[in-house]
Amino acid sequence: MLGIPLKTSMSQGLDDGVKGRGTNVMKTFIGSAKTRPTRSSGFASQVTLKAAVRCSGIGLHGGRPASLTLKPAAPNTGIIFHRTDISGSAPIPARFEYVRDTRLCTTLGVDAGVTIGTVEHLMAALAGCHVDNVIIEVDGPEVPILDGSSEPFVSLIESVGTIEQAAPKHAIRIEKSVTVEDGDGRATLRSGQGFSVNIEVEYRKAAVKPQRVSLGLVNGTFKRELARARTFGFLDDIEKLRAAGFALGGSLDNAVVMSGDRVLNEGGLRFADEFVRHKALDAVGDLYLAGATILGSFDGVRSGHGLNNRLLHALFEQRDAWSMDFVPAESSMGFAHDDLALEAPALAAIGR
């Protein structure tokens, strides 16, 4: 996202060689899981797409046009990116240990130098639609930004539909709290019955008051409450961002832009607290890079892509902090049945 928090982590992903012991355990568990009927066994099923589907657009930061194709994948494949514009390029697993950069977006990459940027909105849509297995082909260095939210990706997935597969849906159950901090920023994963996010944000801009959202993701909550929230930025920051090579494809068509206390986009905001909802969307996407559904609660205070990625590294480095499980069939895909709780006097004197 484009907003600049009070404290922004600039940390980059760790090398493939620097992996927690727990990461390898988890990969072995998932890779060795046998394909089998699941509903009758009491487990939710893995999910893939019914058919391939395609879209195109521009990259938010690089400004380059790109086409993206989502393709069905076999059980236990996971989510894999493939750069079709680079002949013979290695596949890029959508996993936290492949994160290479977290400045203003999440970028994945492999040792050969092949990267794919701004994956978080698509990853959030896949999480929200409960998709476990998909091949993502992109003919450029960045996932298209589309309208700056996850809604177009959700619509893309829904346009072809999803199908259950004869393999149990994996889950990562949080057994004890893990926290990482960076200045005023903090991110925590703690135990819980399902997956929920609790986010607080604060920005330097006087027009944006502190905002918070607490949301259990269940029964379409992601689509209703988070998917439409767009990335955002501030007009007086854009020149500096572009000089640094960011936001080159940004516009009022794909980001909310604030100038002083005014929203420049025609129609204004989609939610009074759209900024914190977008941060929650980002967190859902970043945390889906764990490689499976998380059964636990995420608490973020001024957190961003860098802290979210550091949190997953910290989690899997502590083998007693998590366990592998399957999602029970009766648990609505393992997401928490919490009510939506908001606290956001959001914006002061917002204009249209």
**Residues marked as catalytic:** 305
Residue 207 in contact with residue 261, Cβ under 8 Å? yes
Residue 98 in contact with residue 60, Cβ under 8 Å? no
Q: Which residues pair with 178 in a beta bridge?
A: 189
Residue 277 in contact with residue 225, Cβ under 8 Å? yes
The number of beta carbons lying within 10 Å of the beta carbon of residue 248 is 14
Angle in degrees, 0-180, between the axes of helices 274-287 and 120-128, rounded to the nearest 10: 80
CA–CA separation, 302 and 7 (whole Å)? 7
Which residue, chain included where needed, has tokens 């910290």? 314
Tokens describing residue 231: 């990335």
CA–CA separation, 163 and 47 (whole Å)? 6
Please classify residue 240 by burial: count the beta carbons closer than 10 Å to its beta carbon, then call 0-12 exposed, 13-18 middle and 19+ buried.
Answer: exposed
Residues 6+ away with beta carbon under 8 Å from 40: none
DSSP-assigned states of every residue in 192-224: -SSEEEEEEE-BS-TTB--EEEEEE--TTHIII
